[in-house]
Structure 1
Amino acid sequence: MNAIRLHTFGPAENLTYEPTPLPVPAPGQVRIAVAAAGVHLLDTSLRRGVQGPPTPLPELPTIPGREVAGTVDALGPGTDPAWLGRPVVAHLGFAPGGYAEYAVTDADRLQAIPPGLDPATAVAMIGTGRTTLGILQFTDLGPGSVALVPAAAGGIGTLLVQYAKHAGATVVALAGGPAKTALAAANGADLALDYTRPDWADTVRAHHPAGATVLFDSVGGPLARTALDLLADGGLHLVFGWSCGPIPLTDADRADLDARRVTTQSVLGPAMLQLAGGDNPLRLLETRALDEAAAGRLRPALQRYPLAEAATAHHDLETRATTGKVVLEP
């Protein structure tokens, strides 16, 4: 089979498309003929050799990728034969191997793809979708909510905009450039603004002088610092990423946020899993995400690349040249 391999940590160009041995499923595992593999921003950090907790750095050489969808084409010993030939999607956890024509994983990680969903949509929902549903547990969006969504044209941002509109909230979407703001508007944003323009915050204030009720923050940095000033008294700041680095806050800034009763909460990790509940909270979130997509309430934006162009996909993702979920297709 052909796969993308990484022999040395470093730039995107270190990802090479080459023939590799066909993987053989172990007991309790399946082999999936991959139709779509998800690309995550964390993949780019691991490629550079920067550990992104809690995911450890892989041993080299490695085949990156932790999200796959396709058809089960082989079973390991003791695996339920009912899986053979079924369209499935799986998050591989800490085990890489997704950027390939075939991948193996434990059968208990499989989710059947609901009727009507294509593999690329399913692979977007198994990772990005489950994270979005996990984030949304921390706030009760409704007709009185004003949601401020930076990175609104990204994988999670797209789904947040759609969900908030479906819940009856007012959505203020921030994205970089006209094409991305148009995508956010098409997804239902009431106000879609280009955050590269110097007047975007003034425009938000003019439309919503009382302020936003919740800020969905995956970016941090100066953008999040400005967005915090747009929160209403008692507003909620949900943090699930920091692609632009830490928020530059002074002691006076922190005192102001305290006086306005703004609550900042990190929503990734144990807190998200505790709220989801159950014996396998990640699986519950995956199932909910796939159900939302199957019902048509969530429609992930997809940017597709041929598997052989994984290096280009990584470069584009790192330079913010992509929209929605990045997917590789063999």
Structure 2
Amino acid sequence: MHAIRLHAFGPAENLTYEEVEDPLPGPGQVRIAVAAAGVHLLDTALREGEQGPLPQPTRLPTIPGREVAGVVESLGEGVASLWLGRRVVVHLGFAPGGYAELAVADVDRVHEIPADLDHAQAVAMIGTGRTTMGILQFAELGPDAVAVIPAAAGGIGTLLVQYAKNAGAVVIGLAGGPEKTARVRENGADLAVDYKDPEWPDKVRAHLGGRAATVVFDGVGGEVARHSTQLLGPGGQHLVFGWSAEGIRDGEPYLVDGVSERVLGPVMIRKAGGPNPVQTLELRALAEAAAGRLTPAVQRFPLTEAAAAHRALETRGTTGKVVLEP
């Protein structure tokens, strides 16, 4: 098979397209002919040698990627034959191997893809959608809510805009540049503003006509977060799930005592509950997409252009979930 391999930590150019041996499914595993592989901002940090949330440092050489969708084409020992030929999606957890034509996964992690979703959309929902469902556990959205969503043209932002609008909230979407703000507007936001415009907070206040924001969904941090939190009224929420404006490794999100709440990681998993909280969130995300309530934004790159995909992510040149297609 062909895959993207990383032999040395460093820039995106270190990702190389190579021919490697086919992986073999072990007991309780399936092998998937990959049709779409998810790319995450965390992948860019791991590529440079950061450990991030991984329990062990990345061993080189490695095939990056932890989200794949495709068709089951081989079964490991003990796996029921009914899985063969099914369209499936899976988050591989801490195991890499997604940027490839073939990937293996534990069958108990795998979900069948709903009929109306394509592979790239399924990948978006198993990763970005799962996180979105986790974030939304902490917010009460309804007709009385005013939601401010920085990075509203991104993968999570797109889904947050849709969900909040479906719930009847007033939705303010922030994005960088006219192309992205146009996408946010098309996605259903009541107001889409360019956060590169220094007057954007005043435009939001003018649109709200005296109403205050009730929740800020913050995956950006930095100055955008600082100005966004100033739009909150008494009892408002600042839900923090990232700080891409300051880099994934350095800097912290803008935090307000008594208002800001970090919602990623263990706190999100505990909130989901159930015997397998991660899969609970994955199933919720896939169900929302299957019902047509959420439609993920996807930006596709050929597998051979993984380096370009990483560069685009690092420079905020993407819209929606980035996916590699072999």
After TM superposition, is the score higher than 0.5?
yes
Q: 1:278-293 residue pairs with structure 2 within 5 A?
A: 278-293=274-289
Q: 1:221-300 residue pairs with structure 2 within 5 A?
A: 221-245=222-246, 246=251, 263-300=259-296
> Counterpart of 2:295 in 1: which secondary structure?
coil
Structure 1 moving runs of 4+ over 6 Å:
none
CA-based RMSD of the aligned residues comes to 1.3
Q: Is the 8 A contact 1:302 1:327 kept in 2?
A: yes
Aligned-partner Cα distance in 2 for 1:201–1:141: 22
1:155 alignment partner in structure 2: 155
> Counterpart of 1:42 in 2: which secondary structure?
helix
Aligned-partner Cα distance in 1 for 2:100–2:53: 24
Q: 1:1-330 residue pairs with structure 2 within 5 A?
A: 1-54=1-54, 56-208=56-208, 209-245=210-246, 246=251, 263-330=259-326
Q: Per-residue CA shift, 1:244-272, capped at 9, x if unaligned?
A: 234686xxxx8xx56xxx52111011211
- How big is the shift at 1:57? 3.2
- AA aligned to 2:259 is T
| Stretch deviating more after TM superposition (126-135 or 72-81) | 72-81
> Counterpart of 2:244 in 1: which secondary structure?
coil
Aligned-partner Cα distance in 1 for 2:219–2:200: 18
Q: Per-residue CA shift, 1:32-60, capped at 9, x if unaligned?
A: 00000000000111001112124543210
Aligned-partner Cα distance in 2 for 1:57–1:176: 34
Q: Is the 8 A contact 1:221 1:244 kept in 2?
A: yes
Aligned-partner Cα distance in 2 for 1:129–1:202: 31
- AA aligned to 1:157 is G
The change in CA–CA distance for 1:171 and 1:13 in structure 2 (over 3 A counts) is: same
Q: Is the 8 A contact 2:31 2:74 kept in 1?
A: yes
- AA aligned to 1:287 is L
- AA aligned to 1:151 is A
Aligned-partner Cα distance in 1 for 2:260–2:154: 22
> Counterpart of 2:306 in 1: which secondary structure?
helix
> Counterpart of 2:33 in 1: which secondary structure?
strand
- How big is the shift at 1:205? 1.2
Q: Per-residue CA shift, 1:123-157, capped at 9, x if unaligned?
A: 00001000000000001100000000000000000
Q: Per-residue CA shift, 1:157-177, capped at 9, x if unaligned?
A: 000000000000000000000
Q: Per-residue CA shift, 1:200-240, capped at 9, x if unaligned?
A: 01101112223200000011111111111111111100000
> Counterpart of 2:237 in 1: which secondary structure?
strand
Q: Is the 8 A contact 1:222 1:247 kept in 2?
A: no
Q: Is the 8 A contact 1:222 1:248 kept in 2?
A: no
Q: Per-residue CA shift, 1:179-213, capped at 9, x if unaligned?
A: 10011111100000000011101101112223200
User: Which TM-score applies when normalising by structure 1?
Assistant: 0.95
Aligned-partner Cα distance in 2 for 1:113–1:20: 28
- AA aligned to 2:241 is F
Aligned-partner Cα distance in 2 for 1:226–1:266: 18
The change in CA–CA distance for 1:206 and 1:83 in structure 2 (over 3 A counts) is: same
Q: Is the 8 A contact 2:220 2:253 kept in 1?
A: no
Q: Is the 8 A contact 1:225 1:247 kept in 2?
A: no
The change in CA–CA distance for 1:124 and 1:314 in structure 2 (over 3 A counts) is: same
- AA aligned to 2:297 is A
Aligned-partner Cα distance in 2 for 1:215–1:55: 31
Q: Is the 8 A contact 2:243 2:253 kept in 1?
A: no
- AA aligned to 2:183 is L
The change in CA–CA distance for 1:15 and 1:247 in structure 2 (over 3 A counts) is: closer
- How big is the shift at 1:285? 0.5
- How big is the shift at 1:281? 0.5
- AA aligned to 1:142 is G
User: Which TM-score applies when normalising by structure 2?
Assistant: 0.96
- How big is the shift at 1:273? 1.2
How many residues were matched structurally? Answer: 321
Aligned-partner Cα distance in 2 for 1:129–1:9: 29
Question: Gaps (5+ residues) in structure 1?
Answer: none
